Amino acid sequence: MLTDAEFLEAVRLTPLISIDLIASDEHGRVLVGERRHAPARGSWFVPGGRIRKDESLDAAFARTVEDELGIAHAVRGDARFVGVFEHHYADENFAAAPGISTHYIVLAYALAIAGDTPLTRFAQHHRYAWLLPDELRLREDVHAFTKAYFDRAQQP
């Protein structure tokens, strides 16, 4: 496990690889959460998480779904791969260190979950909301990187 100083150095020197989850319910609504931490603090964003060194994509997907949604044993093959995206946060990082940007390479996956799934994992988000794609496109508090999933694919 990296110390905060080591992780900040990694953020300064390299892109981070992550998985974003475009989770939708039976009504076509998409799950978004209000972010607690930088980057993108205070904006609404789809759940997701970084891939750890030496972690397989399948293991990272399952861990991210469990960590972010509380759903155990998710299988990446049951989700639809939406695409690869880049997220650049100029001068924004988890430590609020000046002059260090954060760069993510994001693997986005769409998956269906029940709208009544109890969402109790608030490590990265203050709260969750279910929004229709047209609704989230219009909201100013939904981050542009989340909106891009719907601009590119129309409906995941």
Q: Is residue 42 annotated as involved in ligand binding?
A: no
| Helix, strand or coil, per DSSP, at residue 38 | coil
Q: Is residue 70 annotated as involved in ligand binding?
A: no
| Helix, strand or coil, per DSSP, at residue 107 | strand
Contact 46, 40 (CB under 8 A): no
Q: Is residue 155 annotated as involved in ligand binding?
A: no
| Cα-trace Rg, the chain | 15
Q: Residue 145 to residues 1, 10, 97, 130: CA-CA distances in angstroms?
A: 28, 22, 22, 17
- Which residues fall in the annotated binding site for Mg(2+)? 48, 68, 124
- Which residues fall in the annotated binding site? 48, 68, 124
